[in-house]
Structure 1
Amino acid sequence: MIVHCAIGIVPSSVVLTGFQVMSRVFLTWAVTHSVREVQSEDSVLLFVAAWTVTEIIRYSFYTFSLLNHLPYLIKWARYTFFIVLYPMGVSGELLTIYAALPHVQKMGLYSVTLPNKYNFSFDYHAFLILVMISYIPLFPQLYFHMIRQRKKVLGHAGDYSKVE
């Protein structure tokens, strides 16, 4: 995905795509895989379903765009479904991290305590809380960016009945 952006196959920001890929790897590996107790949470299904539908729409959009035959329905889906899918995915992600917190704290997962030969400490539990807090400024920025993109690409409500 990042390589596709870097070489220009898809017109997305390498930085934003990199951030998205890394956050998905983090949530999949460092939270869901590492804390087995959360794997059966409904929140995992929530974010995985949102990610899956999002990627099906995104790559259908990119594929048809590359073929120079983009059906309006796919363009509309690309710039409309995020309205529900983005909050759904973020909710699933946050609920999963939240469900992992007590287990991470109890196990001391990925935490490094003092004293040690590097004179360094890291509290993974606190880190996860900071990750959750980071959603507060980041989510609205990214969500409203997509709202602006939607308006730019699809235009006003009266234009939604167009067929290409």
Structure 2
Amino acid sequence: MVALNPIVYWAQNQKDIFLRVELRDVKDENVVLLEDSLRFEATGVGACGLDKYAFHFNFFESINPGKSKYRATDRQVEFSLRKENCGKWWKRLTEESLKLPWLKIDFDKWKSPEDFEEETRDILQDRPDILRQLQEDEGVIEPINYRQVYLFVYNMAQFIGFLYIFVVMMINYAKKGPDSMEETFSNVGEVFKFVQLMAFLEILHVIFGYTKGGLMACFIQVLGRFIVLFGCINSEPRMQTKPVVFYLFFIWSLVELIRYPYYMFRVYNIEVSFLTWLRYTIWIALYPLGFLCEGVVYLRTIPYAEETGVFTIALPNAWNFAFHFPTAIRTLLLCFFFPGMYTTMIHMQRQRKKKLGPSYLRQKGE
């Protein structure tokens, strides 16, 4: 009786080779592990149901059997094989460059041999050149990554939105000069509200692991802009004609016209050095100016909110609850605005050090 081939996933890091045999309820396994080869036979439930499965191949490089191990669980069989030459990157798993249909790359477990940052990054981010070579050697066609497609489309849509806002503002300013400032909100306010609402998705991206980054910094930035835009500007027509709205929209748009293209390229691991430098440098000038404009908006909103009572809930009412919007703005300024500004600036400084520090220069060969 000829044994079937189970599906085997493999990955590697600097020291080890990892194998994951897709075989459940394994019985009567027979494993022969040598320095240059591996033979596996067992009965279990695989892709073709309950049957006898087996495989055998020679390694691309030698391993250390004494420091290698395997275990069979109810769901699969796992191998951890120590490389004889630790630190050497294997071009492929098998000695011969044959395309084995049952052997696949375990992208989730693959680790890069280089660790430029504190957090080890996977090969999909660090070594796309090696990934492509492995796919060619083993006949693997990378499936469509719908998460990448979604993130690219999202960032592109946000970029187009802010580009429209910026272009309209600049055209109006070129035509009318400073007189165009009072028309800023009426010209681009609706589009700005839309892209700002879309920005709440970025919080979900971090929560669900679609993107890496600090949740607190992202939350502070998105929520802060939401309060300024909807709570202070959109709710008070007299605020909408102030020049500070023009300056604020200009700064926000300029920041995003750099940030979103950077993320678009990073989704597919494309490094544009100048864009990276801009992304982690221009904030040094723009963020303080943006915070200054936001602070002015808060202060100018307080007397208007006192006069109109917008968002204020007075007692008595059915809920027995009171809320005074001007007091909330003052509290926000004193207790959250400045700590939030400090948190955001520190976060960006750490990111700049990480992205443009010595590890970045080593990657670029500088």
TM-score normalised per structure 1:
0.85
1: distance between equivalents of 2:207 and 2:343?
23
CA 1:121/1:7 → structure 2, altered by over 3 Å: closer, same or farther? closer
* Structure with greater Cα Rg: 2
Which residue is equivalent to 2:350? 148
2: distance between equivalents of 1:145 and 1:6?
18
Equivalent residue of 2:247, what SS? Answer: helix
Aligned pair count?
160
TM-score normalised per structure 2:
0.41
1: distance between equivalents of 2:365 and 2:290?
29
After TM superposition, the structure 1 = structure 2 runs for residues 80-159 of structure 1, keeping only pairs within 5 Å, are 80-133=281-334, 134-155=336-357
Q: Does the CA contact (< 8 Å) of 2:265 and 2:271 recur in 1? A: yes
Which structure's relative contact order is higher, taking Cα pairs within 8 Å and 6+ residues apart?
1
C-alpha RMSD over aligned residues: 2.2
Which residue is equivalent to 1:59? 260
CA 1:94/1:20 → structure 2, altered by over 3 Å: closer, same or farther? same
Over the matched positions of the two proteins, sequence identity in percent amounts to 29
2: distance between equivalents of 1:155 and 1:144?
15
Higher strand share: 2
> Match for 1:114: what amino acid?
L
2: distance between equivalents of 1:7 and 1:147?
25
1:32 CA drift (Å): 0.4
1:48 CA drift (Å): 1.4
More moved, 47-56 vs 121-130: 47-56
Question: Which portions of structure 1, spanning 4 or more consecutive aligned residues, are displaced by more than 6 angstroms?
Answer: none
Which residue is equivalent to 1:42? 243
2: distance between equivalents of 1:153 and 1:29?
33
Higher helix share: 1
1:7 CA drift (Å): 4.5
More moved, 87-96 vs 7-16: 7-16
Q: Does the CA contact (< 8 Å) of 1:45 and 1:92 recur in 2? A: no
> Match for 2:321: what amino acid?
F
1:141 CA drift (Å): 2.3
